[in-house]
């Protein structure tokens, strides 16, 4: 009966269809040629080229996500401060400092039992810090372009701190806005007189 050749690395095996027949092997190195140094160098060069092209894209994508998260954090901080002002019936402020990645919340002095604001008048409220500065991002290259302070009345309106301080709070008309930066990218945070926050990019 004819034996059927089967090939594998280094050997050509003649296999007998009958299970009892022993396999006969003979050297055959035609299929076991290794890779040359030039071929390996070409593969390494190709992988390096792909990584060189992909790395900046990956870094830009990560930075874009971080920037979007930072902008969302700023918007959330503004809305939360307004909510606290309404719930506690006190004036609040939130301040973002240029070049920094933190914000500071202040409120009218609260004392007494039950707790109440030092003054509920619409003019000249006295503010004290609520805790320490709070980070709104951990990105080293993300910051606020211009220092911005917003004041919140217990009625829900939002506006820049009045000048002089004894003047009534005037809502943002039509909006208050400031910019965040990350490298060459910017995002604009816009706040309406009733606390609606919108973040846009150019």
The predicted-structure confidence for 89-121, as pLDDT tens digits, reads as follows 889 999 999 988 999 999 988 777 777 776 645
| pLDDT tens per residue across span 126-179 | 889 999 999 999 877 899 999 999 999 989 999 999 888 778 889 998 899 999
CA distance 184 to 7: 61
pLDDT, the chain, mean: 82
Task: Supply the pLDDT for residue 21.
Answer: 56
Length of the chain: 202
Count the alpha carbons within 13 Å of 72 in the hemisphere toward its beta carbon. 6
Return the higher-pLDDT residue of 80 and 111: 80
Residue 131 contacts residue 140 (beta carbons within 8 Å): no
pLDDT band at 80 (very low <50, low <70, confident <90, very high): very high
What's the DSSP call for residue 166?
T
What average pLDDT does range 67-95 have in this prediction?
93
Model confidence at 66: pLDDT above 70: yes
Residue 189: CB atoms within 10 A of its CB come to: 21
Pairwise CA distance, residues 97 & 124, whole Å = 22
- Among 90, 83, 82, smallest CA distance to 107 is for 90
What pLDDT is stored for residue 117 in this prediction? 79
Quote the percentage of the chain above a pLDDT of 70.
Answer: 80
Give me the phi and psi of 28, to 5 degrees please: -155, 100
Confidence (pLDDT) at 70: 93
What span, in angstroms and rounded, lies between the C-alpha atoms of 144 and 161?
18
Averaged over 32-43, what is the pLDDT?
A: 76
Euclidean distance between CA atoms 121 and 3, whole angstroms: 105
Q: Quote the strand ranges of 3-54, DSSP E.
A: 4-8, 10-15, 24-28
Is the N-terminal amide bond of 174 cis, ω within 30° of 0? yes
Find out whether 144 and 96 touch, Cβ atoms under 8 Å.
Answer: yes
Q: How many CB atoms lie within 10 A of CB 180?
A: 23
Asked if residue 180 has pLDDT above 90, the reply is: yes
pLDDT at res. 36: 83
Name all domains of the chain by residue range, CATH numbers in brackets: 1-33 (no CATH), 69-200 (3.55.40)
Rg over alpha carbons for the chain, rounded to the nearest Å, is: 35
Give me the mean pLDDT over the 180-191 stretch.
92
Q: Which residue, 110, 125, 120, is CA-closest to 162?
A: 125
């Amino acid at each position: 009966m004819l034996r059927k050749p089967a090939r594998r690395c280094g050997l050509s095996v003649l296999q007998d269809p009958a299970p009892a027949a022993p396999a006969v092997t003979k050297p055959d190195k035609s299929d076991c040629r290794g890779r040359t140094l030039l071929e390996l160098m070409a593969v390494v060069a190709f992988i390096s080229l792909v990584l060189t092209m992909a790395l900046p894209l990956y870094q830009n994508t990560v930075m874009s996500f971080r920037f979007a998260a930072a902008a969302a954090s700023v918007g959330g901080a503004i809305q939360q401060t307004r909510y606290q002002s309404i719930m506690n019936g006190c004036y609040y402020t939130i301040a973002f400092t240029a070049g920094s990645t933190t914000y500071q919340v202040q409120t009218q002095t609260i004392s007494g039992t039950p707790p109440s604001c030092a003054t509920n008048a619409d003019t000249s409220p006295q503010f004290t810090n609520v805790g320490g500065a709070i980070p709104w991002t951990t990105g080293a290259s993300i910051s606020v372009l211009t220092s911005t302070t917003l004041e919140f009345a217990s009625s829900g309106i939002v506006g820049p701190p009045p000048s002089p301080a004894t003047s009534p709070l005037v809502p943002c008309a039509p909006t208050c806005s400031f910019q965040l930066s990350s490298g060459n990218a910017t995002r604009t945070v816009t706040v309406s007189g009733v606390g609606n926050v919108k973040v846009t990019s150019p």
